[in-house]
Structure 1
């Protein structure tokens, strides 16, 4: 299975599709029922798609879940679905626009206990947009906001017996190198899909940096990609891709499986790694995407300054 798994992963289509998931799941052990009893989890972008599926999976394992959403109505609808599926679930809604530092700070101030933090919120604008603070929107949503939110919640995570942070990246990040020289995508012709993939690469670069930053607090930091899942975000932002790959796509629940596993499996997976379908994966597949130390330094310095986080 290990060799077949690796081959499927490198060939992309077999590994990222529903077939890759179904090929692999037969060798997995079920998560312990009640594995997250007493734990509290925050899931950003939990109003639909993989975020909602993640929240449902965590609730099924006993976690109290906070749905961090921009749209309260979508949050209420997601909450109703989760409670209908898991009547005993404790599900709360918190308003949080991850691209807005003010909204992130306000949301973080409302959280008083935390064990699991899942960074799932995502955007894919077709044209370059900037936030009120002047940051490119995908960069603000995928990188600056999660960095700020994690740092604000660090004391609560450090107080947990088994704290875990999960960044939901994308397989598209394999096509991009870390752009420490142009993180805001100011140079060249802007393409939404490229901006998305670049910032997903940045999330993967953040994982080992934050794992080291929080090591003394015992906070595990993980990165993962869910494969190709049939979500409202994919259908709305990438209609051509969705039409072409529709027969191959995973369900949201299949895409969310590794997120839930990273949050709940015992013993805890190794911190600072990148995962897909419950297995560590390489962070680079192309020789052109390799990172130089100076790229990482420049990226980290820019991010901490832009997010208002001490380096």
Structure 2
């Protein structure tokens, strides 16, 4: 049985932002949650991108702790091996392996997916966690703005390529790790590559996270016939190496309020371990959340369609 705070209190926490996104909100809400059943994911397989530190490592550890066999898809395999060692030290029976994949490089994604499918014909959980926040505008090997490539194009292509393995599982889950920062940004269908205006890494990050949310219903519809659910979520404010590096002033001001990586990972693990949840929705702290709080961020269906058309063309994913 799933329990929640009263709706009015939960909504108040969410609208207050500082309370809802911080460890305060997590700890208040989590008092009402039921614990994960032991070995809830026993016999299932999972893949987590960007799993060598922070939230990604915490997600991988949580999935392994529930019995899943977990692949860490990382750019740096030395750091990935270190993360895997930490996970197996904490979860002695964990089945964890490390594979190299640069999610921003579409050629690398294709090579990784081919190798992965050669080793397994079943994937139950795919978590798109890999993230970047560049100091200045940078491009992937295919010439796409780096946040767009890492958070949108690479995950879209990887999901498409691995969908046969997910279709072979019962009730597979795709989970996109977004950010509460996306609430500040609208889609920019005329400038998805962020080529105009002054470039700011935090803005590029939030724009690409808005794209993830906008694409989630489309992806949910695309894979529904294969029994694959697609979820998007944000973890709240979490103290991670990426925040320390990219947002040092924010971290200095909010550090006492920041969530631990394990707290930030909770909803992703819960989504993976909970059957029967509605697909195509946006989640935070185990509850469906609104996609917009500001009128200026609302997009038209035509804008979502233009985003999908652009992404499909950029990745070579067939629309149909």
Normalized against structure 1, the TM-score is what? 0.99
The answer to whether the 8 A contact 2:75-2:102 is kept is yes
Does 2:173 match 1:164?
yes
The answer to whether the 8 A contact 2:215-2:304 is kept is no
Following superposition of structure 1 onto structure 2, how do residues 223-234 of structure 1 map, counting pairs within 5 Å?
Answer: 223-234=232-243
Structure 1 unaligned residues grouped into runs of 5+: none
Following superposition of structure 1 onto structure 2, how do residues 30-41 of structure 1 map, counting pairs within 5 Å?
Answer: 30-41=35-46
Does 2:63 match 1:58?
yes
DSSP 3-state at the match of 2:225: helix
Structure 1 CA distance for aligned equivalents of residues 153 and 132 of structure 2: 13
* Structure 2 partner of 1:287: 295
Deviation for aligned residue 1:97: 0.2
Structure 2 unaligned residues grouped into runs of 5+: 1-5
* Structure 1 partner of 2:201: 192
* Structure 2 partner of 1:251: 260
Structure 2 CA distance for aligned equivalents of residues 282 and 121 of structure 1: 24
The answer to whether the 8 A contact 1:122-1:138 is kept is yes
Deviation for aligned residue 1:109: 1.2
DSSP 3-state at the match of 2:51: coil
Normalized against structure 2, the TM-score is what? 0.96
Of 242-251 and 104-113, deviating more is 104-113
Question: How many residues were matched structurally?
Answer: 310
The answer to whether the 8 A contact 1:262-1:268 is kept is no
* Structure 1 partner of 2:54: 49
Deviation for aligned residue 1:293: 1.5
CA RMSD, 1 decimal: 0.7
* Structure 2 partner of 1:121: 130
Does 2:7 match 1:2?
yes
The counterpart of 1:18, out of the listed 23, 39, 59, is: 23
Structure 1 CA distance for aligned equivalents of residues 214 and 100 of structure 2: 27
Following superposition of structure 1 onto structure 2, how do residues 63-74 of structure 1 map, counting pairs within 5 Å?
Answer: 63-74=68-79
* Structure 1 partner of 2:146: 137
Structure 2 CA distance for aligned equivalents of residues 38 and 125 of structure 1: 38
The answer to whether the 8 A contact 1:69-1:94 is kept is yes
The answer to whether the 8 A contact 1:181-1:295 is kept is no
* Structure 2 partner of 1:214: 223
Structure 1 CA distance for aligned equivalents of residues 11 and 54 of structure 2: 27
* Structure 2 partner of 1:99: 104
Structure 2 CA distance for aligned equivalents of residues 80 and 127 of structure 1: 34
The answer to whether the 8 A contact 1:181-1:298 is kept is no
Deviation for aligned residue 1:181: 1.5
The answer to whether the 8 A contact 1:41-1:117 is kept is yes
Deviation for aligned residue 1:11: 1.0
Deviation for aligned residue 1:64: 0.2
DSSP 3-state at the match of 2:81: helix
The answer to whether the 8 A contact 1:15-1:21 is kept is yes
The answer to whether the 8 A contact 1:64-1:90 is kept is yes
The answer to whether the 8 A contact 1:119-1:166 is kept is yes
DSSP 3-state at the match of 1:196: helix
* Structure 2 partner of 1:27: 32
